[in-house]
Amino acid sequence: MEPDVLLRRRLPLALVAAALLAGCGNARTGTPRPETATSIATAADAGGSTGPLPLPDASAGTAAAPDDAGAASLVAGDYAAAGWSAVAGAPPDIGLAAVRGSASDDVWAVGDAGLVLHWDGAAWTRVPSGSSVWLDAVWAGDHDHAWIAGEAGTILRWDGALWSPPTSGIEVNLNGVWQSADDAAWVVGDVGTILRWDGSAWTLVAAGTDVPLYDVWGSAEDDVWAVGGAILHWDGHAWSDVRSGPMPGIAGLVMPDAPPPDVPWLGAVRAGPAAFLRSVAGSGPDDVWAVGDAGAVQHWNGTAWTRVPSATGNWLEGVWAATADEAWAVGNMGAVERWDGGSWSAVPCTARTRLKGVWGLRDHDLWVVGGFGTILQQTTREDS
């Protein structure tokens, strides 16, 4: 994981590179989160959590990122010019990790210090989670069914009224969650952890690997994908490794070709054939995307995984697919990319922070979340 942005301004590049490499291992417990503007001392404590923080007054408008955070100010006019709206609702010193919904009035966003936000079609409100750890993933089926996964074996379940924590029975960090139409849910995490929900309890399922797994998505109960240091597939009976090439880890560091002048060096990871995949999503069984380090993009066409050229060399952390002709990916330094059915292209975005999650409805309401409480929305989408 990347070091706290406050550290970047004070450390020489050699130390930044060393810190980045040291933080890219499997375990993330106790790792400072780059999305927050907490003090160095606070970020270094267990889990990097500060506990719940009060939400800003919505009447004050959209909050600006801290001046020393290395992120551009969240100025509504700037985003509007790029087709985005910056939506208030999250503390500016809390990072958001994921966003998912089931309808235009039912969207969830989760992040650091147990933060859980809900969009009801008009505003984001904070919903008590009962947790203070980093929450890394969220899935929503409808207004009464949702799941959250996070650090230290955290799994939360939404029943339409409150979040309750079923016992996972493990302590490893959990990074991705998905549920099928028949209520079978999957959670993946570090050291090859895979858990399955059968409607009443979570059970460990053999993954056949001990590499970290960062995300999970499926088109059906017998067609589920998990990605991380490998590409795994569930066929209804067992998980198998179907990676398209070696992905042992991080290969090196490079300077960005043209870093924005108002942003300190954030770094980029050169992956080549060796990279972790951070997110997976698709529009159907023959249209699945996986994205990751250094702009790594891979696509499943129903038969094989192939590498697809990306529009950026930045770390990509989130992907979402609407149709075979439209998919979105987000990542470091405000990177936003769109697939138009033929190629990936960069989409203008004035955010200069780490974007972690993206989700939308097929014809409107695209949401992006990331560091420093960033919540962006596009209410209409036109072909590039």
Residue 95 near residue 53 (C-beta atoms within 8 A): no
- pLDDT tens digits, one per residue of 35-82: 443 322 222 222 222 222 222 222 222 333 322 233 333 444 456 656
pLDDT classification of 167: cutoffs 50, 70, 90: confident
Q: Which of 303, 137, 333 is nearest to 228 (CA)?
A: 137
pLDDT classification of 101: cutoffs 50, 70, 90: very high
Neighbours of 307 (CB within 10 A): 12
- pLDDT tens digits, one per residue of 134-155: 999 999 999 999 999 999 999 9
Virtual CA dihedral for 24, 30, 36, 40, nearest 10 degrees?
Answer: -100
Q: pTM score > 0.75 for this model? A: yes
Neighbours of 54 (CB within 10 A): 7
Asked if the model's pLDDT at residue 125 lies above 50, the reply is yes
* More confident: 170 or 80: 170
Q: What one-character-per-residue DSSP string does 204-273 give?
A: E---S--S-EEEEEEEETTEEEEEESSEEEE-SS-EEE--SS---S--EEE--SS--TTS----EEE-TT
- pLDDT tens digits, one per residue of 79-96: 665 688 999 999 999 999
Using CA atoms, how far apart are residues 336 and 355, in angstroms rounded to an integer? 8
Asked if the model's pLDDT at residue 214 lies above 90, the reply is yes
Domain count, the chain: 1
Give the whole-number percent of the chain exceeding pLDDT 70. Answer: 69
* More confident: 274 or 148: 148
pLDDT classification of 356: cutoffs 50, 70, 90: very high
Where are the strands (E) in 112-173, listed by range? 116-119, 124-126, 135-142, 145-150, 155-158, 163-164
b/e map 89-116, b = 16+ CB within 10 Å = bbbbbbbbbbbbbbeeebbbbbbbbbbb
For the residues 20-25, what does the mean pLDDT come to? 32
- pLDDT tens digits, one per residue of 238-264: 999 997 554 444 333 333 333 343 333
* More confident: 216 or 71: 216
Using CA atoms, how far apart are residues 288 and 139, in angstroms rounded to an integer? 17
Give the whole-number percent of the chain exceeding pLDDT 90. Answer: 61
Instruction: CATH number of the domain at 89, please.
Output: 2.130.10.10
- pLDDT tens digits, one per residue of 219-245: 999 999 999 999 999 999 999 999 755
Using CA atoms, how far apart are residues 140 and 125, in angstroms rounded to an integer? 16
SS3 275: coil
- The range of the structural domain enclosing residue 195 comes to 5-380
Residues 6+ apart with CB under 8 A from 201: 166
Asked if the model's pLDDT at residue 354 lies above 80, the reply is yes
Q: Which of 163, 121, 115, 160 is nearest to 141 (CA)?
A: 160
Asked if the model's pLDDT at residue 33 lies above 80, the reply is no
Residue 231 near residue 225 (C-beta atoms within 8 A): yes
